[in-house]
Structure 1
Amino acid sequence: MAHHFPVRVYYEDTDMAGIVYHANYLRYIERARSDWVRSLGIDQNALRDAGRVFVVRRIESDFLAPARFDDELDVVTETAQASGARLVLHQEVRRAGERLFQAEVTVVCVTLDGVPQRLPEELRRPLH
């Protein structure tokens, strides 16, 4: 099931040509992942207080077309693969259905000391 997260491109997001600066796509997909986790009922603050956090292990991305100042974007997040401690997500940034950016993001659950942990049940349950 796809999760949708709206983003408006602000002036501060762009370079001198009025095009979204490449690193900001990573910010957009991070916000979308956080919102997706929240929508599943997972409180990341409580998870951290219990000694577990999510960290990005790997990102493979493609820049397909530019987004520009004042565009209304949709960040789409879908699960590609899930295992005990690892989750691979496919994320796209779209404008009116056109794909502008896509990424495969591997996220892992670890202790505060970096030791891998199983994904929370609340996250695994809807994925299977």
Structure 2
Amino acid sequence: MSHVFPVRVFYEDTDMAGIVYYANYLRYIERARSDIVEQLGLDQRAMRAEAMVFVVTRVEADYLGTAGFGDRLDVHTTHAPKGAVRWIFDQEVRRGDTVIFRAIVTAVCMTTAGKPQRLPAKLRAKLSNTGT
């Protein structure tokens, strides 16, 4: 599946040099993943009430360029389940056609007690119906 999430760079996102602070790219890609979960019809609050959460266990990131105050960016994400508990996200932050940040993120479905948990059946069904 693929997904595009728009981001506008606010003044608060920048550092003293006037460019996006490096950790904020992780916030941008997190927002995109949260949007994907919502668009797939999953309610993370309800999941948590049932003692199930998604936990990021790995991020491999490359900073390829910079963005500044006022820039309009897009987070492009492709994603697919991997095995019974993992969900892999390949994410790029782009300014126009230029990729300025790239990350591969592994999220694991877990119980709130920290035990691996199968991806929710609703999620597996939706992802299998889209050809991923």
TM-score bracket, shorter-length normalisation:
over 0.9
- 1:1-57 deviation per Cα after TM superposition (whole angstroms, max 9, x unaligned): 211111100000001111100000000000110001000000000000011000000
Over the matched positions of the two proteins, sequence identity in percent amounts to: 59
Which residue identity lines up with residue 9 of structure 1 in the other structure? Answer: V
State the TM-score, normalized to the length of structure 2. Answer: 0.93
Secondary structure of 2:34's counterpart equals helix
Moved over 4 A (4+): none
Report if aligned partners of 2:80, 2:127 keep a CA contact under 8 Å in 1: no
Determine the C-alpha separation between the residues in 2 that align with 1:123 and 1:19: 37
Q: Deviations over 1:54-108 (max 9, x none)?
A: 0000000000000111000101111155220011110110111211100000000
Q: 5+ unaligned residues in a row in structure 1: which ranges? A: none
**Which amino acid in the other structure matches residue 11 of structure 2?**
Y
Secondary structure of 1:105 counterpart? strand
Structure 2 partner of 1:113 = 113
Q: Is the 8 A contact 2:75 2:94 kept in 1?
A: yes
Partners of 2:91 and 2:98 in 1: CA distance: 13
Counterpart CA distance in 2 for 1:82 and 1:40 is 17
Gaps of 5+ in 2: none
In structure 2, distance between residues paired with 1:37 and 1:82: 16
1-side partners of 2:107 and 2:75: how far apart? 17
**1:45 correspondence with 2:45:** yes
CA RMSD of aligned residues (A): 1.0
Aligned length: 128
> How does the TM-score come out when normalised to structure 1?
0.96
